[in-house]
Structure formats: C-alpha cells, structure tokens
C-alpha cells in the first residue's frame, strides 16, 4: 500500500487494519492524510514552535493505544481525542517548566510557522488572529478550534471534550462574545482583561 | 448542530458581528507540515512497534487470569521484590554494572554512519540530535575515550556546528543543544585535540547569549532560568579548565547568578524572584554546579552542600521514572562526597523504564546515556 492509497479506503478501515494486523503501511496512509490537519489543530490551540513534535506524539499514541480504537467511532474523533490529551499534557508540562521542573524545553527547533510566513501583511494577520484566540481560556478556545476551524458538529465536540452538547453551545456563545468585546475595546484603545501585549 | 446553524439562532445584529468574526478567525495563515514529517513519524512508530509495548488483551488463558491465580501471583511478585531488594542492599560493588555495559553496546549499535545518533530511532525528537549525540558520545567515552565511535561522534559534533558557533536550528531548544554540546566538547577535548576550535566558537556563542545579570534563558525578556544557567556554567567551567580563556568571565557571572537564586535554607528558584522550586533535578543540578564549577570560590561549595543536605536519596517512589532527576542527584551527591547516597539513587534507577518522564523527548538514548554517565567515575 502506498501513502496515497485508494481514497475509497476509509480511515476507519485503515485503522482496523492497524489494530488487527499492526499494519504500518495502513498507518502511513493515515499519517499522510491527517498530519496537516493535526498540525493546524495544534497551531490554533496555541502551539508556537513545537507543533510537529506534538503531531508526532499524537500519532505515536494512536499507534500505542490502537487496541482501544472502537470500530463504530469515527477515526477523526479518535484522533482529536488523543490530540486533545497530548495538548493537555503539553500545557501541564509548560506549567511544570514555569515551576522549574523541566530540564529540556518542550518546544523544539523546528519553527515552520515562522519559516512559511514571508510577507508583513501575512504576519500581522496571523498575530491579530492569534491575539484574539489568546483572549480565551483553553476550555473556550478548544470549542472555537473544533467548531469554527474544524467545523465539527457540536455533539462530536462534546464527545471530544467530554462535555454535554448544550455546554458546547453556551461556551461557543461566550467565546464569540468575548472576542467581539476584545475587538471593540481594542479598536477604541480601552484595556481589556486578559489582553496580551 | 454546527456553527453555521448556531449562528442562525442569533439576532441579525449579533449574527453579522459573529459571521465577520468567524471569517476573520478562518483567515489565520497556517504552516505547512515539513516534507520530512511523515518519515519522522513513521520512524518513531517503527521503534514503537519494535518495542511492542501494547498490552495484549488475551495474553493469559482465562484459567490463569482467575482471582486466585492473580492473588498467588501477586504474593509471589512481592516475595521476589523483597528478595531483590535484599540482594541489591547486599550488593556493595561500585564497579560498572552489566546493565551499563549492555546500554553502552546498545548506544554504540545505534550510531549513524556520519557519527551522530538519530533521536527518532530511539523514540525521541529529531530536534535534539546535537545534544543527544553529545550525551551518547560522552557515555561511550566513559568506557573508551579513544574508540572509533567516539572519534566519529566528535567529527559529527563539529560538522553540526554552524558559523556562529551554535548547534541545531533556531528556536528555543537551541539553548540546550548549545550547552550540552559545549559541555561534551570540553570533556572530550583532552583526547580529541581537534575539537578546540569548535569548543572556542561554542563558548563565544554561550557568552553572547548571556543576559546582563549573568543567567541564560530561552524566554524573551527573562534574565535567566536556573536549569539552563547550571548547564552553561558546567560547560564553561570545563572549557576554562581546558584553557579556553573566553570562558572565564561568563563563568563567574553565571556562578554569581546561581548563588543569587538559592535561599539560605537550601532551596532554589527557577527564575530570580520566583517561587521556590520543588524540583529535585533543579536543586541537584544547582548544587553540582556550585560544588564543582564553584569549587575555587569562597563560600560556593558550602552553598552547594546546603542544597545537598535537603536532597533525598530516595528517587521518588510512586513518581514517574525520571532519568534526568536521578542523573542530577547522583552527580550532585558524588560531588558532595556523599558516595553512599549516590549509590542508593543509582541502584534504584531504572534507565529503561518505558514511561520515563523524558521518554518522548529524548527516547531511550537519553536515559541510557545519562545512566552510563552517572555510572562513570
């Protein structure tokens, strides 16, 4: 099987092959199909430098825990569940680093974000959106990442984050309202709580 | 429900605001994954598959998984554990252990043709190739400093150095690659004289990166963090002993910075003025730097010993395996002349623990190299 396997073979079928037969070729196809989306997920979640290493960690965990994959579940839901856990672990490590418990920095050398951005407008636009997302605590930000960027149905977001669908809806409302307030105050020059300079 | 359906529920005014907000968010430019990413991931997965850490669901026949059987097995396991503990307490030899020898063979077998080590092949991050090559080279040098493997590793380290003296690509991790590699260059210099130009450039680079107050950090605006400063102080101290004059001044400033992050009661902080750190690795590393690099300065060894007094030789029972912590504690206890404490930490250290705290960053190469280094006298 090549990495550009028949698109008719679903992610779920490939994952079953990985689970039942340790099929690394099938896994290669899954990696090839989803690595970019996963990298986007981490960047939108707030990763600045080490997105690719978190992508690597996520796929490693998927492989490590392949027996836990349930056939009835969508592969992308499983993938995002694991990615979410990797991200939470990363946040915990960052807190430990702040307390001085981490000997090696978590953000390795690859900085593809900076390498790809060339023109000034591009950078400003990027900084603006990231600044906007930074006004949100992680709980609200995850709802925005999965709902606005990934366009996942709220029920699926609820399964990934382990919260009821109604909570997803109210968090989305609060997140949008908070960002709108930030933008209004930003334009009028009023300082806003949580604003990052 | 999706976001589009949700937005339809709002008043026209809100909907318009939120639609424009959503469009703005979606305009976020995103990075493209690097072309090597798939290969890196698959190489790491291959290592994982070879380890085969996935627990099998039907490993035991049902008769063997009964409650009585498991109870019997757990009693037998406790008995074996007690016997093992007794045996290890009786074991007084300080010679290199067969485990270390096996680890060194394993490290040597993993060396690439160009003399470096691929972190990914050992389950770690590619980003740390210079630092992990440096640690692996030091580990092998502890057995035979003039072996072909160590020569090849030295050549690889030199070839990884860039014009400005740095190691690895730009980014925050460069700081650790820099200090660990400079440390290795200085340590290997006596047997590999060709390393001197590389070491001098590395030292100059470290000096350039030092903040005004004498520390080092990878965070913008910070005057230093204790862990990185301790590593750089170790590297500069060794470099100065090898006759690199440029190490002298930054070393003194670094030691002064370390002196100022510790309190009278033997505790240390990560950032100046920050909260007291509970991290044992941080305290041990600081103590070691004060005891060794600060040996010829009045009062510094005393401060190092004060930290050691508060350091426990128990290696975190119930906590995750942590090769970095155990390494720091062993070298710190040894530097303080507390050989028994060092041996206690080393005896209960499991360098190949699958769940080592740094497993995903440095892979087994990191823990095996540190274990061998801690074992070296």
| Chain A residues inside the 8 Å CB shell of B275 | 99
pLDDT of residue B332: 93
- Going by pLDDT thresholds of 50, 70 and 90, the confidence category of residue A119 is very low
Say which of A111, A122, A180 has its CB closest to residue B21. A180
pLDDT of residue B172: 66
CB contact under 8 A, B269 and A100: yes
Residues 6 or more apart whose CB falls under 8 angstroms from that of B35 comprise none
Q: With contact defined as beta carbons under 8 Å apart, do B157 and B202 qualify?
A: no
| Chain B residues inside the 8 Å CB shell of A32 | 38
Interface with chain B: mutation pick from A108, A159, A197, highest number of B CBs within 10 Å: A108
pTM: 0.56
Q: With contact defined as beta carbons under 8 Å apart, do B132 and B117 qualify?
A: yes
pLDDT of residue B133: 95
Q: Enumerate residues 95 to 114 of chain A having a beta carbon within 8 A of any beta carbon in chain B.
A: 98-113
- In tens, the pLDDT along B255-269 reads 999 988 888 778 888
What is the H or E stretch that residue B302 is in?
A: helix B300-309
Residue B1: exposed, middle, or buried by beta-carbon count in 10 A (0-12, 13-18, 19+)?
Answer: middle
Domain boundaries, chain B: 3-95
CB contact under 8 A, B1 and A66: no
Token pair 């070729």 is at which residue? A25
- CA-nearest of A122, A21, A13, A28 to A75 is A13
Return the percentage of chain B with pLDDT > 90, whole number.
36
Tell me how far apart the alpha carbons of residues B129 and A110 are, in angstroms, rounded to a whole number.
12
CB contact under 8 A, A64 and B46: no
Least confident of A41-55, A177-191, B244-258: A177-191
Tell me how far apart the alpha carbons of residues A49 and B101 are, in angstroms, rounded to a whole number.
37
Residues 6 or more apart whose CB falls under 8 angstroms from that of B288 comprise B230, B234, B304, B328, B331, B332, B335
- Going by pLDDT thresholds of 50, 70 and 90, the confidence category of residue B165 is very high
- Going by pLDDT thresholds of 50, 70 and 90, the confidence category of residue B46 is confident
Interface with chain A: mutation pick from B6, B9, B33, B52, highest number of A CBs within 10 Å: B33
Mean pLDDT value of segment A55-60: 89
Least confident of A79-88, A97-106, B44-53, B324-333: A97-106
Interface with chain A: mutation pick from B127, B128, B262, B282, highest number of A CBs within 10 Å: B127
Q: Touching check for A16 and chain B: CB below 8 Å? A: no
Q: With contact defined as beta carbons under 8 Å apart, do A39 and A11 qualify?
A: no
- Going by pLDDT thresholds of 50, 70 and 90, the confidence category of residue A192 is very low
| Chain B residues inside the 8 Å CB shell of A27 | 42, 45
Q: Decide if pLDDT at A22 tops 70.
A: yes
| Chain A residues inside the 8 Å CB shell of B41 | 31, 35, 55-56, 59-60
Q: With contact defined as beta carbons under 8 Å apart, do B116 and B349 qualify?
A: no
CB contact under 8 A, B171 and A109: yes
Tell me how far apart the alpha carbons of residues A53 and B126 are, in angstroms, rounded to a whole number.
9
CB atoms within 10 A of CB B214: 22
CB contact under 8 A, A36 and B34: no
- CA-nearest of B175, B252, B247, B245 to B213 is B252
In Å, how far is A172's CA from the nearest CA of chain B? 9
Sign of the C-alpha dihedral, residues A156, A161, A166, A168?
negative
Tell me how far apart the alpha carbons of residues B66 and B170 are, in angstroms, rounded to a whole number.
56
Q: Enumerate residues 68 to 87 of chain A having a beta carbon within 8 A of any beta carbon in chain B.
A: none
Q: Decide if pLDDT at B79 tops 80.
A: no
Cα B45 to chain center, whole Å? Answer: 22
Q: Which residue of A has its CA nearest to B39?
A: A28
Tell me how far apart the alpha carbons of residues B53 and B355 are, in angstroms, rounded to a whole number.
11
Do the interacting molecules here have an ipTM over 0.90? no
Q: Which residue has the higher pLDDT, A111 or B64?
A: B64
H helices present in chain A, as ranges: 11-21, 24-45, 51-64, 75-98, 112-116, 120-134, 138-144, 154-161, 165-188
Residues 6 or more apart whose CB falls under 8 angstroms from that of B287 comprise B304, B305, B307, B308, B311, B332, B335, B336
- CA-nearest of A29, A184, A149, A6 to B42 is A29
| Chain A residues inside the 8 Å CB shell of B45 | 24, 27, 31, 59-60, 63
Kindly state the DSSP code that residue B270 receives in the 8-state scheme. Answer: S
Say which of B21, B28, B275 has its CB closest to residue A126. B28
| Chain A residues inside the 8 Å CB shell of B37 | 35, 39, 52, 55-56
Tell me how far apart the alpha carbons of residues A147 and B19 are, in angstroms, rounded to a whole number.
13
Tell me how far apart the alpha carbons of residues B161 and B124 are, in angstroms, rounded to a whole number.
21
- Cβ-Cβ pairs closer than 8 A, A with B, add up to 197
Token pair 């016997």 is at which residue? B83
pLDDT of residue A188: 63
Beta bridge partners of B268: B262
Q: Decide if pLDDT at B94 tops 70.
A: no
pLDDT of residue A191: 47
In Å, how far is A173's CA from the nearest CA of chain B? 9
Q: Decide if pLDDT at A148 tops 90.
A: yes
pLDDT of residue A32: 92
Q: Decide if pLDDT at A141 tops 80.
A: yes
């Amino acid at each position: 099987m090549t990495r550009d396997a028949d698109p008719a073979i679903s992610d779920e079928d490939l994952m079953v092959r990985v689970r039942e037969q340790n099929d690394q070729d099938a896994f290669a196809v899954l990696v090839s199909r989803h690595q970019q989306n996963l990298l986007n997920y981490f960047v939108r979640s707030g990763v600045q430098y080490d997105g690719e290493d978190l992508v690597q960690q996520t796929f490693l965990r998927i492989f490590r825990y392949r027996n836990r994959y349930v056939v009835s579940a969508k592969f992308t839901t499983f993938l995002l569940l694991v990615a979410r856990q990797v991200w939470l672990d990363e946040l915990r490590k960052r807190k430990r680093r702040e307390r001085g418990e981490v000997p090696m920095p978590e953000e390795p050398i690859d900085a593809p974000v900076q390498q790809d951005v060339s023109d000034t407008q591009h950078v400003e636009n990027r900084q603006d959106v990231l600044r906007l997302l930074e006004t949100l605590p992680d709980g609200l930000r995850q709802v925005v990442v999965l709902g606005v960027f990934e366009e996942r149905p709220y029920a699926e977001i609820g399964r990934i984050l382990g919260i009821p669908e109604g909570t997803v809806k109210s968090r989305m409302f609060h997140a949008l309202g908070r960002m709108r307030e930030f933008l209004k105050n930003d334009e009028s020059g009023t300082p806003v709580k949580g604003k990052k300079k | 429900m999706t976001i589009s359906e949700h937005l339809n529920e709002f008043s026209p005014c809100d909907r318009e605001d939120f639609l424009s907000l959503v469009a703005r968010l979606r305009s976020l430019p995103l990075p493209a994954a690097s072309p090597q990413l798939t290969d890196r991931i698959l190489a790491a997965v291959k290592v994982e598959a070879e380890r085969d850490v996935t627990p099998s669901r039907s490993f035991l026949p049902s008769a063997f998984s009964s409650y009585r059987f498991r109870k019997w097995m757990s009693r037998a396991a406790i008995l074996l554990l007690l016997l093992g503990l007794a045996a290890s307490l009786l074991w007084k030899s300080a010679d290199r252990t067969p485990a270390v020898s096996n680890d060194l063979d394993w490290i040597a077998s993993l060396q690439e043709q160009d003399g470096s080590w691929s972190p990914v092949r050992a389950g770690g991050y590619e980003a740390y190739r210079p630092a992990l090559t440096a640690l692996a080279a030091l580990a092998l040098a502890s057995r035979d400093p003039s072996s072909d493997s160590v020569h090849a590793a030295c050549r690889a380290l030199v070839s990884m150095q860039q014009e400005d003296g740095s190691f690895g690509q730009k980014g925050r991790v460069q700081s650790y690659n820099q200090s660990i590699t400079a440390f290795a260059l200085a340590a290997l210099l006596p047997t590999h004289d060709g390393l001197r130009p590389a070491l001098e450039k590395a030292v100059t680079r470290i000096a350039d990166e030092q903040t005004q107050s004498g520390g080092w950090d990878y965070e913008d605006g910070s005057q230093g963090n204790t862990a990185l400063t301790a590593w750089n102080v170790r590297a500069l101290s060794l470099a100065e002993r090898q006759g690199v004059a440029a190490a002298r001044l930054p070393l003194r400033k670094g030691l002064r910075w370390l002196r100022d992050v510790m309190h009278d009661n033997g505790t240390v902080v990560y950032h100046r003025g920050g909260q007291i750190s509970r991290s044992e690795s941080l305290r041990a590393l600081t103590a070691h730097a004060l005891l060794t690099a600060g040996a010829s300065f009045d009062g510094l060894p005393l401060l190092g010993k004060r930290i050691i007094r508060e350091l426990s030789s128990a290696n975190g029972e119930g906590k995750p395996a942590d090769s970095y912590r155990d390494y720091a504690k062993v070298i710190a206890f040894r530097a303080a002349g507390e050989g028994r404490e060092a041996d206690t930490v080393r005896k209960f250290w499991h360098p190949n623990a699958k769940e080592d705290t740094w497993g995903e960053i440095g892979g087994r190469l990191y823990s095996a190299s540190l274990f061998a280094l801690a074992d070296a006298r």
